[in-house]
Structure 1
């Protein structure tokens, strides 16, 4: 056989091999392969079959790095019967890999041979999971259509660019594909009607059940609602009857109840004897305000998946594209994004959001938009359970601004030179010709000016404009940028008088003016929400009253200054200062009634930026979550790196990480004590809390600290080994000892386990006037919750 044609031209092609398993609902191995029968030698450039005493079959496929990019497909198999979820388990080991970045990507493609649709899933081989001395399973989870069909499997390896002169190798000993077989009925699909439901609303989830056996099935389908650390209640129970080979959809519905938080709905299929046959689950949010459950994910493992922060961003997408994005958001089990904003749609911002004509020129003359279509898109996104807000630039702009100035020049603020801002008469003249054939939209605003928030007419005008946002456009709320009813020394009225000569007066007038607008809007729209930029401590030194008013009413507070903290000129580019700054300020915003949104370096990860290091996004996500953050810029997720689904953890246990009753304790507090090396950070991460049931809690977050003291200092994305057997003690309060304790995590419970979002009960051991628990290991982040 020619060298290049070994193993069928470098693609291992086999037919699906069904292995009988005499257990109801046990996952079945539907296909597997190893290299035991292969002849040693080159397979393709960068891939060799090698003798390998560590491999079960005695041989493995060695993939050696030569350059970044894709290699030939290493596996292919046809006619695999699949439906719903499954997992591909790849046995790997590696040498000279980075810990959690720049690894080998394995891209799985599952091609439905009936419909032609393709489904993708990725796994990454990193050193944190794969060493040279032993094989470890890399699970690659997938979900295909809910109707059984034959699939073609291919696996494509791709080397990421390496740091320095590193030249890693990866060995693959074999692969197994587990899925639903033909031995028992199973749940092949879950589809919720919304991502979030208001308390009292009907939760609706369609459950698809398949009976692949040759016998009729009689049993029941049950749904249980899981919330918090141990909450569980049965919410639905229906009879399930399927003929041999039948696929049936059951529409389950129940009234949303329980704590306003992230919930997990567990579905169980039982036979007539009550024996469990199949199980699956899906998350839903129970809340009146989707902003409280805004935890979008940036999946560093899955190259094909869009970042959750932009999943439902509608403009400039077409209506069809928006509809597809909404459908994906509802269907996607990993979508935990409860909030979005509409940018760039406004006609003239505060001078007049809604145009008098349709279509109209929007956003400083940048583009034509359809008002009718835009309203439809807003309604469509709201119907999916997402809280929809309008972006407010915060100025009177363009044509409506000109008209407002002509009528009310005394409504505007002026500089010492008598100017109101910026204006462009050529753009003004061009806009008047917008209906002529030659007109082309250009980003060239005709006017930009700030209004005087202390003027009663201005307050009334802006209040009415915001009321129109809710009543006519359908927005749930608005977020201000640039200007938000604030004044500062050095701003003047038309008559030349200074509005606020001192910062104390400016603070008082700003808070008073904003309150006037919020109160006026609340009379017409009691549930209308607010959000604001300029939410960093550096930006609020002189305006404590204004900050408090901005936070009032669960306002979204955006901390954008944090994008600069990766620079070495920032005092917060040291991780200990970074974590302290975020956690303390997040607690301050929470106590002022605000929803904290801490931003990330440079507004997001860019693989092409030489200063961006993947592990920094992992550490930053941990501290953004511990700060109580609900976010716009997505949070790090990566099962291959053993970090797990951190955004889902923040969603599922939202009361533990972002609840309103959390209170940060002083760094020298004495209630909780951790016995651990200094590299395990916990001081300054202790909170008290009250559970939704009113029980007192003490919470400590355990963080295995970054290897480098500085952001961007860990070019190889190294991580510390897990800290084992950590003892945590919690003292009595008022003579009362904690009665329960849980370990909350997204990472593995123990070093050899796989990541899982879970709360595991811990055994309490009394030790004098305290109790103690033992945490098996901390790789990145684990949280201990004591309950009195």
Structure 2
């Protein structure tokens, strides 16, 4: 045995100077999935290479680790490598039922020396809570294609099939073999879509569908053909529309023909039959495509009734009047659709754009999040951040935007820590926004991506739509340490300065990013520290890292036995890292009565400090 937890991994890293004396390398560690469910049978292919001219014998030791101190041996087997031989060894294990991030570390040991080591990272989830592990990271120029078959290139574990169906309200489960996507206007072929979903699931990548109309919003033309009496009209009897006029020619077109505009009619969501149809259509989509989730792009449907100066009328000319307010009616609609879905699909994830509880539609937004396996998307797009006139163009303002989103969820009554995602965050192509020389100098916008990643880590945000290789350190760190970020029992500390003080050679942001997690007779205080950007504004062209934060000291006042407090500093890897793996260093504090002081390793963008107290079950 080489020890356990960090002791094991630290021993491997300390042994690496022996690497220069051997010709053996571990080329890759490849688990078969990026996201497992509880008690799945897992496998990993570990590829070793002997690049020398003599036979090499040793032992391959493979361990799985989670938390900060827990690990177990997966396998230990003798390996012989002939000169210039490459060999792949298969490891097998059961994932068990501990949720969140893991590492799988393979070491080649000769005698008492570890001569090669490599790790990979993945997550394990409760089937009812898997959405708490999700992230969308398409990668940049170098990895976007590779990630389609190798999710570890970006740590992407969820495919959001935007606008895959005929329309946003009905025909989410088309019977046709081929159709034109109602909004995105490209061809969808059912067999190819189903094959893609299955192939991605075999890699541990979940897949989800899309609708804008089931809880509110526009409906499709084919739905108007099926139920013209469910469409709202203007005073003259013409269909009401959400975005621009509707063409009668488009309404009459077949499902495999392109349209002039997107599907944008207004269904009568005050009619219970319409709402029931919407929920049942989503269920049909789950059954047809075996989706793992459904994304609802908006909760504002009943407001469309008031968006026309001509008023809203039913098909027979009766004006639409509601006794309930729009907020209450929207909440009823959202709740009814959710209940229909949950009756048939209890474990699917449901997530909503713009559902952070704020007026208007406060009640509807709270109702949408009174659920498990549920999330809210805060949409703030990369093109917005790049706009000098946008409030979030400045780093500190963007930081405050994220913290305000988090705080709005914390203040809402009746919801239990739903997933908070930031959507379309980097849905831009930096290569088209600067010269080739500027793009190459920016290292695929490495600096900007890592600053943004630090904000997401601190606010506990799940990334949604990233397009730069610079995000890989962040998403890898999220994968390994997701328990310290996204576990339901991670709680925000409102006045951290009462127990913590941070001193630094340069400005760092930390006061809003302190959390605690209690259980198993211990309490973790989780301190997120961001190194402030050199420039005030979001700038894709920045070509160098900020000056590192050095000599950073953390002072912590404990209520437990200070001799039993353990402290770690965790960091994503930096540019030019050979290992390209997060680092975890256990720190030895100075003690003065109940106060502990540690100096952190220098960091360029972000570090997480975990202070673990043995409490015996007592709370602070």
TM-score, length of structure 2 as denominator length: 0.80
In structure 2, how many angstroms separate the alpha carbons of the residues matched to 1:601 and 1:191? 29
Deviation of 1:467 after TM superposition, in Å, equals 1.3
- Checking the alignment, whether the CA contact within 8 Å between 1:25 and 1:184 is kept in structure 2 is no
Deviation of 1:741 after TM superposition, in Å, equals 0.9
Deviation string 1:29-73 (CA, Å, 9 cap, x unpaired) is xxxxxxxxxxxxxxxxxxxxxxxxxxxxxxxxxxxxxxxxxxxxx
Deviation of 1:346 after TM superposition, in Å, equals 0.7
Deviation string 1:443-490 (CA, Å, 9 cap, x unpaired) is 325852233334322232122211112212111111012456654672
- 1:283 corresponds to which of 104, 121, 134: 121
- Could you tell me which residue of structure 1 aligns to residue 453 of structure 2? 621
Task: Give 1:122-161 correspondences, 5 Å limit.
Answer: none
Q: Secondary structure of 2:342's partner?
A: helix
Q: 1:571 to 1:368 in 2, by over 3 A?
A: closer
- Could you tell me which residue of structure 1 aligns to residue 525 of structure 2? 698
More off after superposition, 696-705 vs 572-581: 572-581
Higher relative contact order (CA 8 A, sep 6+): 2
Deviation of 1:541 after TM superposition, in Å, equals 2.2
Asked whether 1:345 is paired with 2:345, we answer no
Deviation string 1:404-429 (CA, Å, 9 cap, x unpaired) is 323xx1x3445677643253212234
- Could you tell me which residue of structure 1 aligns to residue 617 of structure 2? none
- Could you tell me which residue of structure 2 aligns to residue 426 of structure 1? 249
- Could you tell me which residue of structure 1 aligns to residue 568 of structure 2? 742
Q: 1:736 to 1:660 in 2, by over 3 A?
A: farther
Deviation string 1:314-338 (CA, Å, 9 cap, x unpaired) is xxxxxxxxxx864233xxx433111
Q: 1:451 to 1:233 in 2, by over 3 A?
A: same
Q: 1:26 to 1:258 in 2, by over 3 A?
A: farther
Deviation of 1:339 after TM superposition, in Å, equals 0.8
Q: CA RMSD in A?
A: 3.7
- Checking the alignment, whether the CA contact within 8 Å between 1:365 and 1:443 is kept in structure 2 is no
Deviation of 1:228 after TM superposition, in Å, equals 2.5
Asked whether 1:728 is paired with 2:554, we answer yes
Asked whether 1:574 is paired with 2:401, we answer no
- Could you tell me which residue of structure 2 aligns to residue 195 of structure 1? 34
In structure 1, how many angstroms separate the alpha carbons of the residues matched to 2:150 and 2:74? 26
In structure 1, how many angstroms separate the alpha carbons of the residues matched to 2:313 and 2:404? 38
Deviation string 1:661-695 (CA, Å, 9 cap, x unpaired) is 2333335741211123562222222222236x563
- 2:484 corresponds to which of 656, 659, 678: 656
- Could you tell me which residue of structure 1 aligns to residue 106 of structure 2? 267
Task: Give 1:57-206 correspondences, 5 Å limit.
Answer: 183-206=22-45
- Could you tell me which residue of structure 2 aligns to residue 522 of structure 1? 342
- Could you tell me which residue of structure 2 aligns to residue 509 of structure 1? 329
- Could you tell me which residue of structure 2 aligns to residue 708 of structure 1? 535
Q: Secondary structure of 2:610's partner?
A: strand
- Checking the alignment, whether the CA contact within 8 Å between 1:339 and 1:388 is kept in structure 2 is yes
Asked whether 1:645 is paired with 2:473, we answer yes
Structure number with the higher strand fraction is 1
- Could you tell me which residue of structure 2 aligns to residue 473 of structure 1? 289
- Checking the alignment, whether the CA contact within 8 Å between 1:414 and 1:420 is kept in structure 2 is yes
Deviation of 1:299 after TM superposition, in Å, equals 6.6
- 1:598 corresponds to which of 390, 405, 422: 422
Deviation of 1:198 after TM superposition, in Å, equals 0.8
- Checking the alignment, whether the CA contact within 8 Å between 1:294 and 1:338 is kept in structure 2 is yes
Q: Secondary structure of 1:467's partner?
A: helix
Asked whether 1:498 is paired with 2:321, we answer yes
Q: Secondary structure of 2:227's partner?
A: helix
Q: 1:484 to 1:229 in 2, by over 3 A?
A: farther
- Could you tell me which residue of structure 1 aligns to residue 224 of structure 2? 402
Q: Secondary structure of 1:724's partner?
A: coil
In structure 2, how many angstroms separate the alpha carbons of the residues matched to 1:754 and 1:383? 27
Stretches of structure 1 lacking an aligned partner (at least 5 in a row) = 1-22, 29-180, 312-323, 435-440
Deviation of 1:218 after TM superposition, in Å, equals 5.6
Deviation of 1:755 after TM superposition, in Å, equals 7.3
In structure 1, how many angstroms separate the alpha carbons of the residues matched to 2:187 and 2:385? 37
Deviation of 1:246 after TM superposition, in Å, equals 5.2
- Checking the alignment, whether the CA contact within 8 Å between 2:138 and 2:156 is kept in structure 1 is no
Task: Give 1:356-371 correspondences, 5 Å limit.
Answer: 356-363=175-182, 366-371=185-190
In structure 1, how many angstroms separate the alpha carbons of the residues matched to 2:348 and 2:178? 27
- Checking the alignment, whether the CA contact within 8 Å between 1:741 and 1:764 is kept in structure 2 is yes
In structure 1, how many angstroms separate the alpha carbons of the residues matched to 2:137 and 2:218? 35
Q: 1:723 to 1:249 in 2, by over 3 A?
A: closer
- 2:366 corresponds to which of 548, 557, 574: 548
Q: 1:359 to 1:685 in 2, by over 3 A?
A: closer
- 1:327 corresponds to which of 127, 130, 149: 149
- The aligned length equals 569
More off after superposition, 416-425 vs 187-196: 416-425
Q: 1:748 to 1:601 in 2, by over 3 A?
A: closer
Q: 1:195 to 1:748 in 2, by over 3 A?
A: closer
TM-score, length of structure 1 as denominator length: 0.64
Q: 1:24 to 1:557 in 2, by over 3 A?
A: closer
Structure number with the higher helix fraction is 2
Deviation string 1:684-711 (CA, Å, 9 cap, x unpaired) is 22222236x5632222222221223333
Deviation string 1:585-606 (CA, Å, 9 cap, x unpaired) is 1354476432222246673352
Asked whether 1:666 is paired with 2:494, we answer yes
- 2:268 corresponds to which of 445, 452, 455: 452
In structure 2, how many angstroms separate the alpha carbons of the residues matched to 1:224 and 1:390? 36
In structure 2, how many angstroms separate the alpha carbons of the residues matched to 1:293 and 1:646? 14
Q: Secondary structure of 1:703's partner?
A: strand
- 2:205 corresponds to which of 386, 402, 405: 386
- Could you tell me which residue of structure 2 aligns to residue 94 of structure 1? none
Q: Secondary structure of 1:777's partner?
A: coil
Deviation string 1:645-674 (CA, Å, 9 cap, x unpaired) is 222112211122333223333357412111
